[in-house]
Amino acid sequence: MQRLFIVIITLAIIDSSLPCFAQESIKLPEPVINNDLMKALRDRSTYRNFNPRPLSRQTIAEVLWAGYGINNKKTGRRTVGTAFNMREMSIYVLTGEGGFLYNAEDHVLVQITGEDLRPIIATQDYAVSVPLHLVYVADNGLVMKQSPEWAHEIAGQFSIMHTGQIAQNIYLYCALNGLGTVIRNVVNKDDLGKKLGLHPNQRIIASQVVGYPEQ
């Protein structure tokens, strides 16, 4: 009991030596919603009730470009930057026409399979009827190439961070264009990876669905 009392007294002395910060609140002005970005941030939302109506190819093209497209053809810079410029992320696209890989450099969809893989990825009831599923895949091999000495420690952290940036871009695009979206992690990653022909260094981080909200 005496030792416990001494420890408590010691902690109290240490705590009393810490700087004391004034508990003062500063009232901030309300945001001014006067441009498209601010409107998109205001309207950004998650949807889980979708209309099965297919998206046009123009819409799919814009969703993919917003998420991870090239916004500077001279430098190859994308709408999302990556640590060490690794560009380890890929977007696989699942529609009723099959499974595709988004090639951002040429802005084309490269078909992987003609099979409709949405039933495999739609593990939640609300996702079954969504016309567009995006699958975010990281290549750990590219991380190892850029920084092999500590890649194992940071590969997962960077890929999750980059996935979040891509997904948020798409959230904002959807908010401005009357679309609904939600990022998902309840995915049968092993079976889907086999169907997409992913190699051992590739791993699925998450998926995101895009469609028209059910009115």
The structural domains of the chain, ordered by start, are: 35-213 (3.40.109.10)
This prediction's pTM: 0.83
Q: Please, which pLDDT band fits residue 186 given cuts at 50, 70 and 90?
A: confident
Position 6 confidence tier, pLDDT thresholds 50, 70, 90: very low
Average pLDDT of span 108-137:
91
Give the span between the Cα atoms of 69 and 97, in whole angstroms.
Answer: 22
pLDDT single digits (tens) 63-116: 999 999 999 999 889 999 887 777 889 999 999 999 999 999 999 999 999 999
Question: 211, 178 in Cβ contact below 8 A?
Answer: no
Residue 132 pLDDT class (50, 70, 90 cuts): very high
DSSP string, 126-176: GGTT-SEEEEEEEEHHHHHHH-TTTHHHHHHHHHHHHHHHHHHHHHHHHHH
Q: Are 82 and 49 in contact (CB under 8 A)?
A: no
